[in-house]
């Protein structure tokens, strides 16, 4: 089995006819067979479909009709993305036998780009809660140490990408569900600007906070995947009708002259991160500074304000989505999901509206604070992944670093900044202004290129 390739590397080799999409797919399938029994990242493996996709891609290569950088690239989808004729469960007993008749818009777009679909990936139940041990399938585990948590809810995508079972995959992010697992699994993951990527055909969690986005080993690979996923879709009422930029266009421009704001109080006082996470952020800032970025500190409302606002909106909107089932099939949900969502029954209409009004204030605050910078930096997670059996059931009460960018809709990305005392990944989060994803990728790529973390895979992969 060869070294695990990034999407960018594999696509160049495929274009040069040095790498066969069929062989690449078979390598992924072999790795899944070897490693996934310990990781549980796949809920459903679609081997025949994958090989058919790969053979079609290979035929295009031989005809000189390659579709683009994603042609022949093995990916998989979080199991809240509808896939026509293929079971889509949300990792829940309630949808255990659900087979959609139509692909989600993003599933269709990625298939049209020539990707090879390997299957459906573990998630926290309905993209919330977890880790859960009372669902029809076990939770995904962290390839850096399978006794540890992946974070969620895009847990399967985080684990599968880190272990090289797929080269990239889809996630969804309502309060941090792409950036959390990206951070704890040591990969890259972006929550794009609200409205940039269609959510049509993706099971909703909270309408005004839900985002769809890609996860991959590098930020460059995320840019390649996002290129296929982004764009206006009339089927998603929140879709932004605006031109899609070239997300890779600024990748190699470096960060000289870019202005970086550091939301230091988020991770130093509001919710103090581990020493390794703090060191990773400081080293990351030093790397960017050495390349010519200009630093300044930014002060926002306390992280707890953003978290309270986002949390209340999230549980109330999710409750509204699930109310009929909560009333009729409450105990068919796993304990983690049902108890967390049950809290929403205690929130009044006026309290929800208070959160909505506060959200507007926070959006205005974020816009004003970012007026004079290009990106902001803070933590993505407080530290390394906890042992999976030690994750507190009510950990969602803890203010998280990712939800401010769901509350405001700003694009944000997590990158690996090294490893903590336990040998598991630590990370930092970079956010940009709305629809400024190319700048976000530019900063993340500059950081990744200047550091060696992308050369290190989990020991179980070797």
Partner 1 sequence: MGLAFNSWEHWEAAMSKMTEATFDALIERSKLPLTAETRREIYGVSGMLEDMVARVTRAKPREAEPAIIFVPEQRP
Q: Of residues 36, 236, 305, 384, which one binds partner 1 by CB under 8 A?
A: 305
Nearest to 306 by CA among 270, 269, 277, 273: 270
Find the shortest distance in angstroms from Cβ 275 to partner 1: 13
Local structure of 368: helix, strand or coil? helix
Binding residue (CB under 8 A) for partner 1 from 363, 391, 450, 461? 363
- Which of 9, 47, 96, 339 touches partner 1 (CB under 8 A)? 339
CB 390 to partner 1: min, Å: 12
| 336 a catalytic residue | no
- Min dist. Cβ of residue 133 to partner 1 (A): 16
What is the C-alpha separation between 68 and 14, in angstroms, rounded?
Answer: 10
Active site residue 348: no
Nearer Cβ to partner 1, position 416 or 431?
Answer: 431
> Which run of H or of E encompasses 43?
strand 42-45
Q: Find, among 210, 212, 219, 166, the residue nearest to 189 by Cα.
A: 219
Catalytic residue among 78, 93, 120, 191: 78
Among the options 11, 132, 153, 336, which is catalytic? 153
From residue 388 to residue 427, what is the string marking binding to partner 1 with x (rule CB under 8 A)?
----x-x--xxx--------xxx-----------------
Closer to partner 1 by CB, 252 or 269: give it.
269
**Restricting to residues 156-215, which ones interact with partner 1 according to CB under 8 A?**
193-195, 208
Calpha distance 147→46 (Å, rounded): 27
Sheet holding 259-262, edge to edge: 42-45, 116-121, 74-78, 168-173, 211-216, 188-191, 412-419, 425-432, 375-378, 259-262, 294-297
Active site residue 153: yes
Give residues 54-113 in contact with partner 1 (rule: CB under 8 A): none
Counting every residue written for the chain, the total comes to 462
Judged by beta carbon, residue 235 or residue 367, the one nearer partner 1 is: 367
Cα 389 to Cα 419: distance, rounded to the nearest angstrom = 21
149 scored as a contact of partner 1 (CB under 8 A): no
* E strand segments, 361-455: 375-378, 412-419, 425-432
Complex with partner 1: residue 216 or 358, whichever CB lies closer: 358
Q: Does 343 bind partner 1 (CB under 8 A)?
A: yes
Task: State in angstroms the smallest separation of the CB of 411 from partner 1.
Answer: 9
Of 81, 328, 302, 312, whose CA–CA distance to 201 is shortest?
81
Beta strand pairing status for 425-432 and 412-419? antiparallel
Both tokens assigned to 144: 């850096």
Decide whether 35 or 240 has the Cβ nearer to partner 1: 240
> Does residue number 271 form part of the binding site for partner 1 (CB under 8 A)?
yes
- Select from 134, 357, 372, 423 the one that contacts partner 1 (CB under 8 A): 357
Please state at what angle helix 7-15 crosses helix 21-39, rounded to 10 degrees: 160
Nearer to partner 1, 238 or 295 (CB): 238
Q: Which residues of 388-422 are buried (b: 16+ CB within 10 A; e: fewer)?
A: beebeeeebeebbbbbbbbbbbbbbbbbbbbbbeb
17, 256, 289, 360: which one binds partner 1 (CB under 8 A): 360
Stretch that binds partner 1, among 37-45, 105-113, 218-226, 308-316 (CB under 8 A): 308-316
The correct pick among 434, 441, 446, 447 for binding partner 1 (CB under 8 A) is 434
Helix, strand, or coil (residue 262): strand
CB of 317 to partner 1, least distance (A): 12
Q: Which is nearer to partner 1, 281 or 293 (CB)?
A: 281
CA angle 181, 37, 31 (to 5 degrees): 80
The site that binds partner 1 (CB under 8 A) totals a number of residues, namely: 50
Say if residues 150 and 142 touch (Cβ distance below 8 Å).
yes
**Residue 15 in contact with partner 1, rule: CB under 8 A:** no
CB nearer partner 1, residue 224 or residue 316: 316
For partner 1, the binding residue among 138, 342, 422, 438 (CB under 8 A) is: 342
Residue the block writes with tokens 């004079």: 372
Among positions 126, 137, 247, 311, the unique one binding partner 1 when judged by CB under 8 A: 311
Q: Which residues contact 110 (CB under 8 A, 6 or more apart)?
A: 70, 75, 117, 170, 225, 228, 229
How buried is residue 459: exposed, middle or buried, by Cβ count under 10 Å (0-12/13-18/19+)? exposed
Catalytic, out of 11, 41, 132, 177: 177
Is residue 354 close enough to count as binding partner 1 by CB under 8 A?
yes
Active site residues: 78, 153, 177
Interface positions with partner 1 (CB under 8 A) = 193-195, 208, 269-272, 302, 304-305, 307-309, 311-312, 326-327, 330-331, 338-339, 342-343, 345-347, 351, 354-360, 363-364, 367-368, 371, 392, 394, 397-399, 408-410, 434-435
């Amino acid at each position: 089995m060869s070294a695990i390739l990034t999407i960018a590397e594999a696509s160049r080799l495929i274009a040069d006819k040095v790498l066969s999409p069929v062989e690449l797919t078979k390598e992924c399938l072999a790795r899944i067979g070897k490693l996934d029994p310990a990781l549980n990242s796949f809920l459903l493996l679609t081997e025949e479909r994958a090989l058919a996709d790969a053979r079609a891609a290979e035929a295009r290569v031989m005809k000189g009709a390659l579709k683009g950088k994603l042609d022949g690239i093995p990916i998989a989808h979080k199991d809240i993305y509808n896939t026509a004729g293929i079971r889509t469960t949300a990792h829940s007993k309630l949808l255990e036998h659900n087979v959609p008749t139509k692909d989600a818009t993003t599933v269709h777009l990625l298939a049209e780009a020539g990707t090879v679909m390997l299957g459906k990936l573990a998630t926290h139940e309905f993209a919330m809660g977890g880790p859960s041990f009372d669902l029809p399938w076990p939770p995904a585990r962290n390839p850096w140490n399978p006794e540890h948590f992946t974070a969620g809810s895009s847990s399967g995508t985080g684990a599968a990408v880190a272990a090289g079972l797929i080269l990239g995959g889809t996630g969804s992010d309502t309060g941090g569900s792409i950036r959390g697992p990206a951070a704890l699994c040591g990969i890259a993951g972006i929550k794009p600007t609200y409205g940039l990527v269609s959510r049509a055909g993706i099971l909703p969690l909270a309408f005004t906070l839900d985002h769809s986005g890609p996860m991959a080993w590098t930020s460059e690979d995320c840019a390649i995947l996002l290129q296929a996923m982004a764009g206006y879709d009339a089927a998603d009422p929140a879709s932004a009708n605006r031109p899609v930029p070239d997300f890779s266009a600024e990748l190699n421009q470096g960060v000289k002259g870019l202005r970086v704001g550091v939301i230091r109080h988020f991770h130093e006082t509001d919710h103090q991160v581990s020493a390794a996470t703090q060191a990773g952020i400081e080293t990351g800032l030093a790397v960017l500074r050495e390349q010519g970025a200009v630093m300044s500190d930014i002060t926002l409302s306390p992280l707890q304000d953003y978290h309270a606002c986002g949390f209340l909106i999230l549980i109330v909107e999710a409750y509204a989505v699930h109310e009929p089932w909560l009333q009729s099939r409450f105990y068919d949900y796993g304990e983690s999901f049902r108890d967390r969502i049950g809290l929403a029954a205690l929130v009044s209409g006026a309290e929800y509206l208070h959160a909505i009004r506060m959200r507007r204030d926070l959006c205005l605050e974020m816009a004003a604070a970012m007026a004079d910078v290009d990106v902001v930096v803070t933590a993505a997670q407080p530290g390394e992944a906890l042992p999976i059996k030690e994750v507190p059931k009510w950990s969602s009460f803890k203010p998280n670093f990712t939800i401010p960018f769901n509350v405001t809709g700003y694009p944000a990305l997590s990158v690996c900044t090294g490893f903590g005392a336990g040998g598991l990944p630590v990370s930092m989060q970079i956010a940009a202004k709305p629809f400024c994803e190319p700048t976000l990728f530019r900063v993340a790529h500059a950081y990744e290129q200047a550091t060696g973390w992308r050369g290190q895979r989990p020991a179980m992969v070797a």
